[in-house]
Amino acid sequence: MTEAGMREWLAQTLAECCDGQVSAAEILETDSTLAAIGVGSLALVRLVDAVESKLDIIVELDDTWFRDLDSMTAYLSGLTSGAGR
């Protein structure tokens, strides 16, 4: 998956994990942290599950890659870059 594709997929998946309280468009357009736009911890736990299932990887549960969409995209692109995805 390309980095742009990863970014789009993450935004859509995260919006689904937020049960409609934050839209994919809001996630894609903001420079703010996820917490600042209303993404809660339950949504992030759901996102980790979705990411691990879809990308067949295990992610570290630290707060450095959860900060914002760009951090998540960079982190996950780095994990999957050599995996042929």
Structure confidence at residue 65 as a pLDDT band (50, 70, 90): confident
Residue 73's pLDDT is 92
- Mean pLDDT, the chain, rounded, equals 89
> Residue 43: pLDDT above 90?
yes
Cβ-proximal residues to 50 (8 Å cutoff; 6+ apart), any chain: 13, 16, 17
The verdict on domain 3-80 having CATH code 1.10.1200.10 is: yes
- The residue among 22 and 60 whose pLDDT is bigger is 22
> Residue 67: pLDDT above 80?
yes
